[in-house]
Amino acid sequence: MINTEQQRSASGSSQSPRSPSSQPYLSVSVTDPVKLGNGVQAYISYRVITKTNFPEYQGPEKIVIRRYSDFVWLRDRLFEKYKGIFIPPLPEKSAVEKFRFSAEFIEMRRQGLDLFVNRIASHPELQQSEDLKTFLQADEETMERLRSQDTGYFKKKPADLMQIFKDVQSKVSDVVLGKEKPVEESNPEYEKLKHYIFELENHLAEAQKHAYRLVKRHRELGESLSDFGKAAKLLGACEGDALGKAFSELGMKSEALSVKLQREAHQLLMNFEEPLKDYVRAVQSIKATIAERANAFRQQCELAETMKLKEINLDKLMLTRSDKVGEAEIEYKELKAESEDSTRRFETIVRLMNEEIVRFQEQKTLDMGIAFHNFSKGQARLASSIADAWRTLLPKLEACSSS
Amino acid sequence: MINTQRSASGSSQSPRSPSSQPYLSVSVTDPVKLGNGVQAYISYRVITKTNFPEYQGPEKIVIRRYSDFVWLRDRLFEKYKGIFIPPLPEKSAVEKFRFSAEFIEMRRQGLDLFVNRIASHPELQQSEDLKTFLQADEETMERLRSQDTGYFKKKPADLMQIFKDVQSKVSDVVLGKEKPVEESNPEYEKLKHYIFELENHLAEAQKHAYRLVKRHRELGESLSDFGKAAKLLGACEGDALGKAFSELGMKSEALSVKLQREAHQLLMNFEEPLKDYVRAVQSIKATIAERANAFRQQCELAETMKLKEINLDKLMLTRSDKVGEAEIEYKELKAESEDSTRRFETIVRLMNEEIVRFQEQKTLDMGIAFHNFSKGQARLASSIADAWRTLLPKLEACSSS
């Protein structure tokens, strides 16, 4: 880990105007998805381009090739090392097999990965990580070797992971119901946070489900409009003259608008449903951090308990002038050091989490605000152009009726 | 039957001599549910405003139910062969919708249109049966209705058979399969093809119009669900982000209402005219069947007459004592044949006029329907665009705070 106290401000691609070359920056982009390999071994590789003036990095530009499991490796390493920090979420791992190589899925994954890396690169703590440097700079053989050695947190069986989440959830409700003598922090602020996170996850999942349905309904309306347009055109061909012309015009307009509607459905997906899903994943990452904090707290408590017992035992041995006193004193000192380590680790997590909550809230407000803005603008634009399209049809229909 | 041609329109009168220009104006209003349980039915007020001398004017109100309209349609179909009798709205609906406000209103509109089309048809408006329908008291109407042995009271199977005959004969003639007992009139063949093709295309268009209505409704429901979910998120978040979620939620719910209202409008203003068009075409098919019947009858009588003529000549040559009898039979047959020919020719003449009227009226009706449809879509899209735009400054305020 790099020790310089200097906080770096690294943003996407902007630099301070005052001293362009001396202001530190770290800018990453994930681009150019390419399908490699064959059959079941097939996978997508991405170009990761790093532009930076950090002294430890090979600058000013470095390009490496990475695949999805490399990003997973990075996320796992950061999760292990930076307990207390909300590690940015990855886009989903596997999709329904037949969509795995569809253009839409690949593009959404690329955007998700680009966002993932940039969030790490702009986080004051995480950007200093050695593992990040490795990820951005190491050659492909080194990366492959590291990836296959990975025994990261998330490599645990999904069942283990779920159990930890369940523990957190049940402990939360147990404490709330006053059921159990807490081996949990009795910190009302923290309780509020945990409740907020769990409630948020439910509401987000609901909103995301309905956003998905909205996209689906836009598509369906578009398809119906297209079918109707075709039927109207057939009628027009059958009728002939003014009426036939009217049917044909109506048919063509319907088909054109159908295309618009289906394009809008796609836009909705990219600009709105995806940010909501990203929000859900971020919340799940926070839950994992909450589980880590609970673990650290439990560890601290257990060590404190064990230490107390050892102290009582030591006193007993000293009173009886046992020859085991020396051994016991050494054990006690070791335990005390462990306990102090554990306490320090826990307190670090608490401190970091407090900062993280503030950052998370600010960033989320910004991200969702932008997403809503794009959504509303898109809807307004679509509705406007639909209104115009129908209006241009009116004079043509009037011409047909009066002829 | 009254012989003078009258021009009767819905409710407008000539500005020149308001009281002397003949008019016949009808409206079907005030649906009221009467009776109980399975006997329940809807009754309508039929208001007639007219200055026709044979009518009790200037205004007369009677109470009629759906089966009275059916009686009128059947009587007109029997008496005015060759004329396209205006169509009735559908007879029965799925049981649970039979008394829904929407169904009742659509049926009322359909019945009003039905009667007005009759009242503005130069031939049909002179019908005695129309006068009975518009003027007779309810007991008389009930008595007439129960006596009805009209065309459409035939078993549906019989009716279908007639249509099938027409359809198969059309294709047989087209394929040159059968020695035609059909008219070999190329204009008429074209008409029949047009009618059958039109029916298919209309049914398709009407099916897709119905689906469009359904999809508008579904989109509206999804938007409402999404709005509710967004509002819950807003309540959970609080502050600027919460406000943004809430605003988005409320706007979505408001637009959902608009969309579902538009779906209803689409139904009334567009899908219904298309269905009416389909029913009109089915009525024309029934008239085509009548014409085919009349033609067949004419041919058969002509054939029979020829045979009788040959037989008569034979009898005259042999100086049989049956000659007198045969001559009388022949004269009777000749009169029948001439009647049949006259009936057929009347049908042909009327149908030619009807086709022209039908095309003109349809062009007008569908033109209006499309116009309303497009205007409605433009208005809806406009107001949706405005609604989203009013949201933008509120969202910007949330993001920058």
Condensed to tens digits (0 to 9), the pLDDT of residues A352-362 reads 999 998 889 88
Tell me the per-residue pLDDT of A150-165, one tens digit each, with 9 for 90 and over: 655 445 544 445 555 5
pLDDT tens-digit map of B101-114: 888 988 999 999 99
User: d(Cα A323, Cα A156) in Å, to the nearest integer?
Assistant: 45
> Which among A217, A372, A393 has CB closest to B244?
A372
Of B230, B370, B373, the CB nearest to A207: B230
Distances (CA, A) of B276 to A350, B102, B144: 72, 16, 27
Using a pLDDT cut of 70, give the percent of chain B over it: 84
| Partners of residue B371 in chain A, C-beta under 8 Å | 394, 397-398, 401
pLDDT band, residue B10 (cuts 50/70/90): very low
Q: How far apart are CA B332 and CA B309, in angstroms?
A: 12
CA–CA separation, A65 and B121 (whole Å) = 81
Is the confidence at residue B387, as pLDDT, over 70? Answer: yes
Q: How far apart are CA A20 and CA B38, in angstroms?
A: 87
Q: Is the pLDDT of residue B130 over 70?
A: yes
If you count residue pairs, one on A and one on B, with CB atoms under 8 Å apart, how many are there?
A: 178
- Backbone φ and ψ for B271, nearest 5 degrees, come out as -65, -40
**Residue range B334-358: average pLDDT?**
92
Q: How far apart are the C-alpha atoms of B387 and B378, rounded to whole Å?
A: 14
> Residue A166: is its pLDDT beyond 80?
no
Task: Indicate yes or no: CB of A199 within 8 angstroms of CB of B236.
Answer: yes
Amino acid, res. A229: G
Give the pLDDT score at B323: 87
Residues of chain B with Cβ-Cβ distance to A368 below 8 Å are 241, 244-245
Summary mean pLDDT of chain A: 82
Mean pLDDT of B194-203: 89
Q: What pLDDT is recorded for position A174?
A: 52
Residue A356: left if φ>0, alpha if ψ -120 to 50, beta else—which one? alpha
The minimum CA-CA distance between A153 and chain B, rounded to whole Å, is 30
Conformation bin of residue B82: beta by default, left when phi > 0, alpha when psi is -120 to 50: left
A327 CB-contact burial (10 Å; exposed 0-12 / middle 13-18 / buried 19+): exposed
pLDDT in tens, A19-39: 555 788 899 999 999 999 888
B162 C-beta neighbours (distance < 10 Å), count: 18
Q: What is the pLDDT of residue A61?
A: 93
Q: Which residue has the higher pLDDT, B38 or B344?
A: B344
Arch. (CATH architecture) of A197-402 = Up-down Bundle (1.20)
* B202–A211 C-beta distance less than 8 A: no
ipTM comes to 0.74
Reference A72, options A125, A164, A148, A5; nearest CA is A148
Tens digits of per-residue pLDDT, A257-293? 999 888 887 787 777 888 888 888 999 999 999 999 9
Assign A226 a pLDDT band (cuts: 50, 70, 90): very high
Token pair belonging to A64: 């490496």
**Nearest chain A residue (CA) to B237:** A200
| B333, HSE (Cβ side, Cα atoms, 13 Å) | 18
- Structural domain boundaries of chain A? 24-135, 197-402
Q: Do A217 and B222 touch (CB under 8 A)?
A: yes
A24-135, which class in CATH?
alpha beta
Predicted confidence (pLDDT) at residue B155 exceeds the cutoff of 60: no
> Does the pLDDT value for residue B65 go beyond 70?
yes
Whether the Cβ atoms of residue B274 and residue B68 lie closer than 8 Å to each other:
no
Please judge whether B399 and A373 are an interchain contact, meaning their C-beta atoms are less than 8 angstroms apart: yes
Q: Do B388 and A394 touch (CB under 8 A)?
A: no
Element counts in chain A: helices (H) and strands (E): 9, 3
Tell me the shortest Cα–Cα distance from B392 to chain A, in angstroms: 6
Q: CA B297 → CA A63, A84, B164, B169, distances in Å?
A: 92, 97, 18, 15
Share of chain B above pLDDT 90, in %: 34
Six-digit token string for B233: 């998120």
Integer angstrom CA distances of residue A116 from A89, A126, A132, B163, B291: 6, 12, 12, 69, 77
